[in-house]
Amino acid sequence: MLKIAVLISGSGSNLQAIIDAIKAGILNAEISGVLSSKADAYGLVRAQAAGIPTAVLVNSDFPDRESFDRAMLQQLDAWSPDVVVLAGFMRILSRHFVTHYEGRLLNIHPSLLPKYKGLHTHRRALEAGDTEHGCSVHFVTPELDGGPVIAQSVVPVLRSDNEETLTERVHKSEHRLYPQVLVWMAEGVLTFHEGRPFFNGSPIPEPLQLHQKP
């Protein structure tokens, strides 16, 4: 069974989507632990409600990024995950951490990468007049939001949209996409070799796409 560790800093709705997919029998996995970089992250409440072990590491307890990441590595390795899932984890990771989990570290980003790396992605998509927006799940590399994209969920941008409505539509699409990618990992159809994602034994030429109606 796929063992997952989830890293959060906030609401944890993607964590909840993964918990729900496991409970529903869609995803054959177990979450061995949830680590938060914020003591008051609501995702911790979700984890505890689901009986999942939790840990909290806060920036102010560490002199620098490297020591924080070393403590994080120690905690995660104690949970021995097959895959580490970043779900709204609001920290930049050290190269050492990323390299340690290469091929086992996933992130979800609220844009159709390579568009809109970084923050305020929904606002930027609206300002650019895009007609489509969405989210991407990618393997993490040391470059911020720059690792190879596995799959994307595309949503329409409606003329009536504002930042709030678009954010909500993309968020809902994240809740389908992340569990789906983890199902592929659990089934062994999604793998990682020499810096590239493979699907059914072949390199993924373009990100896999999930389309969603408004």
- The residue within the footprint of ligand GRF, chosen from 3, 13, 130, 156 (CB under 6 A), is 13
Q: How far is CA 189 from the centre of its chain?
A: 18
Q: How far is the CB of 14 from ligand GRF (least distance, A)?
A: 3
CA nearest to 171, candidates 116, 124, 122, 129: 122
Q: How many residues bind ligand GRF (CB under 6 A)?
A: 15
Looking at 109, 122, 133, 175, which residue is catalytic?
A: 109
- From candidates 93, 108, 150, 155, binder to ligand GRF by CB under 6 A: 108
Among 174, 185, 190, 210, binds ligand GRF (CB under 6 A): 174
Measured distance CA(180)–CA(108) in Å, rounded = 12
Nearby residues of 53 by Cβ (< 8 Å), 6 or more positions away = 32, 33, 34, 47, 79
Among 38, 46, 109, 169, binds ligand GRF (CB under 6 A): 109
Decide if residue 12 touches ligand GRF (CB under 6 A): yes
Tell the smallest beta-carbon distance from residue 202 to ligand GRF (Å): 27
Q: In angstroms, how far apart are the furthest CA atoms of the chain?
A: 49
Catalytic status, residue 133: no
Residues in Cβ contact with 100 at an 8 Å cutoff, skipping those fewer than 6 apart: 73
φ, ψ for residue 14, nearest 5 deg: -70, -40
Angle between helices 42-49 and 13-23 in degrees, nearest 10: 10
Contact (CB, 8 A) for 169 and 203: no
**Contact pattern from residue 120 through residue 159 relative to ligand GRF, giving x for each residue in contact according to CB under 6 A and a dash for the rest:** ---------------x------------------------
Could you say which residues in the range 43-102 bind ligand GRF, by CB under 6 A?
43, 87-88
- For the bound state, the minimum distance from the C-beta of residue 194 to ligand GRF, rounded and expressed in Å, comes to 26
Q: Could you list the residues that contact ligand GRF (CB under 6 A)?
A: 8, 10-14, 43, 87-88, 108-110, 135, 171, 174
Q: Please give the positions annotated as active site.
A: 109
